[in-house]
Amino acid sequence: MKRCLRCFQNYEENKTECPWCGFQENQQLKEPQYLSAGTVLQNRYEIGAVVGAGGFGITYAAWDRVLEQRVAIKEYMPGEFSTRTPGETRVSVYGGEKEEQYKNGRDKFYEESQRDYSGDL
């Protein structure tokens, strides 16, 4: 059995399309700076399909190998300040003023990720 990288349901090894959601494991990325489905971060999170992207970042469906559950990974990746070589995980930040803008935005992105929203739910 293998796990779908969009819905994370298990299905037969010999199939290339998930019978639950239709995700095809060899789908091309819409944007070259997206992480490829199947990329593993910190030896824990297996990146799945892109579920959203905007001006400052990308949200991926992912599988947490420790908790054995689906999670969302939000990546700070503003296209006007940074890029990525296809197939790589490392982000390249443009120099000069754009580098400062990238760092300031990254710091705000990180601070927001640390906020407790449990009272807002």
What are the structural domains of the chain? 31-116 (3.30.200)
For position 30, what pLDDT does the model report?
A: 77
* pLDDT one digit per residue (tens) for the chain, 121 residues: 999 999 999 999 999 899 999 988 777 677 888 998 899 999 999 999 999 998 889 999 999 999 999 999 999 999 899 999 988 899 999 999 999 999 999 999 999 888 866 655 4
CA angle 27, 31, 33 (to 5 degrees): 110
CA 11, chain centre distance (Å)? 22
Q: Cα dist. 45→33, 41, 104, 117 in Å?
A: 18, 5, 26, 22
pTM: 0.84
